[in-house]
Amino acid sequence: MTTFIAILVDGSIYASWLFLVSAGLTVIYGVMRILNMAHGSFYAIGAYAGASLVGWWFSGAGGNPYVSYLLLLGAALVAGLVVGFFIEFSLLRRMYGRDEILMVIVTYALLLILEDAIKLVWGVDPYFAYQPYGLLGRVSFSGLTFANYDLGLIGVSLVVGFGLWLILNRTHKGKLLRAVIHDREVAVAMGVNVKAMFAVTFAVGTTLGALAGALTAPAISVSPGIGVEVIVLAFAVVVVGGMGSIGGAAAGAVLVGLTRAAAVHLAPELELFVIYGVMSLVLSVRPQGLFGQTLVRKI
């Protein structure tokens, strides 16, 4: 029973982190049909921005330590929106309508540029922002101890997932966005400002990536290369769930998270393999993913 509880809790924590990481990637692809290779860099920018602000706050500039959580959220919001709108306006807006493979190449080049830009701005030394992680303490049950900060990520992922669903299904702008997703040409003919929709969508996607990075910063050493590591996991999750599906990203994160936790506790030697094993099994049965839909091509 103790092992089962450990797998369930650890899997839920890891799944919540995977969903936060992959939500922005699947939002951008679902609306814009851009497979954003640079998404990991937005995660890294959020992590560095959050770690920098938290480090400044605890170095003597601030007072109440709980303000550090607001600093993490503020860093993700500002970094994500500024970088997202700038990249969309200066680069991606000139590429709309091009082949999807070309967009992959462009965003991969953007990944390389942003990785070097991060080193120029923050250097190559690691950043540590551990204070918010330990501030909430730990909780024990069934002989197991978990950090409250990690458990809080489950709540954050639920709020983010519900918020995205609410916006897409219960708001006027969300319904316009769904119209753009289903048929871009008809949406333009009906007077929908597709360019504005794309700009907002890309900024939301980058902000979600930056949010995942900022919230992860207190639990890790923020160092060069973290964005490249994350993008591989994010792709695995969205491919399992179905490209462009928020529900699919959530399902993929839960499946991968629980499977990985089971491997860690029961067969540690399979930890690195199990994520890609799950992806292979799902794609062999459903090539479009669990919640993915077959795309209709116009001829």
pLDDT of residue 260: 92
Long-range interactions of 161-168: CB distance < 8 A, separation 24+:
161/19, 161/23, 161/246, 161/250, 164/23, 164/27, 164/246, 165/246, 165/247, 168/246
What pLDDT digit, counting tens, does each position of 112-164 carry?
Answer: 999 999 999 999 999 999 999 999 999 988 788 999 999 999 999 999 999 99
Domains in the chain: ranges and CATH: 2-285 (1.10.3470)
pTM of the predicted structure, to 2 decimals: 0.93
DSSP-assigned beta bridge partners for residue 222:
127
pLDDT of residue 108: 93
What pLDDT digit, counting tens, does each position of 178-192 carry?
Answer: 888 877 888 888 888
Rounded Cα–Cα distance for residues 99 and 36 (Å): 13
The whole-number average pLDDT for the span 65-86 is 94
pLDDT of residue 112: 93
- Indicate the SS3 state at residue 110: helix
Of 107, 118, 87, 81, which is closest to residue 29 (Cα–Cα)?
Answer: 107
Percent of the chain with pLDDT over 90: 62
pLDDT of residue 296: 55
Residue 106 has pLDDT above 70, yes or no: yes
Residue 233 has pLDDT above 80, yes or no: yes
